[in-house]
Chain A
Amino acid sequence: GQNIDQPTEMTATEGAIVQINCTYQTSGFNGLFWYQQHAGEAPTFLSYNVLDGLEEKGRFSSFLSRSKGYSYLLLKELQMKDSASYLCAVKNQAGTALIFGKGTTLSVSS
């Protein structure tokens, strides 16, 4: 089976840095994705990691350690518009479908 854990909620202030952790246990691993979802809207793709290490994309970075079954999403220079749910997802064993965690709701305040 597959299990993905993320904190339910996090809070931060504008301009700060926040790290959202994700741990996973899967039978087979085909990559890890991070998505952002504003309330009532579609999830939007943020990043993809399949090899260990850090991937940087502007204000957002994502890290993966396959041996530890661990990933994090790092958000820098937080803005109010970053208030959203952040979803960690791994590809299923067949490599087709995404298995999502329940998401971390981030609230950014001024």
Chain B
Amino acid sequence: DSGVTQTPKHLITATGQRVTLRCSPRSGDLSVYWYQQSLDQGLQFLIHYYNGEERAKGNILERFSAQQFPDLHSELNLSSLELGDSALYFCASSVGAGVDQPQHFGDGTRLSIL
């Protein structure tokens, strides 16, 4: 158990809909990262928050947005969903934003778009 909690574990919805994925980092961790994992692309970095502020963006679509709240939990919002958005979405956390700090991953949310 990494200490990172993601909810829900599974989500099934239809094209065009909007969903929110939630992540609680390990106790004491200030950084939260979101990743998308699909079979053909592997793990892709989406976005990084540190202590409530956005620090880096990766290959995140404009239809996707995220935020980190004062209690340090984070939410990833996906809208106008398309079939290609079906994937495993992982949240990871680390103590700070240092280059040498390992990121610890939650169990992921499996999103299926029908």
Contacts and interface: CB of A to CB of B under 8 A. Distances in A.
Interface of A: 30-31, 33, 35, 40-45, 48, 50, 87, 89, 91-92, 94-103
A30 B99 contact: yes
Nearest to B108: A42
B83 interface: no
B90 A48 contact: no
A100 B104 CA distance: 14
B89 to A, nearest CB: 12
Contacts of B4: 42
B106 A92 contact: no
A44 B88 CA distance: 15
Contacts of A100: 42-45
Grouping DSSP codes into helix (H, G, I), strand (E, B) and loop, the A interface class, with mixed when no group exceeds half, is: loop
A41 B88 CA distance: 10
B103 interface: yes
B56 interface: yes
Contacts of B106: 42
Contacts of B44: 100
Interface-central residue, B48, B88, B99, by most chain A CB under 10 Å = B99
7 contacts: A42-B90, A42-B106, A44-B105, A92-B58, A94-B56, A98-B35, A101-B42
B105 A42 contact: yes
Given A97-B45, A97-B56, A98-B33, 11 more contacts: A35-B105, A40-B88, A43-B90, A45-B103, A50-B99, A87-B43, A96-B33, A98-B45, A100-B44, A102-B42, A103-B42
Contacts of A91: 99
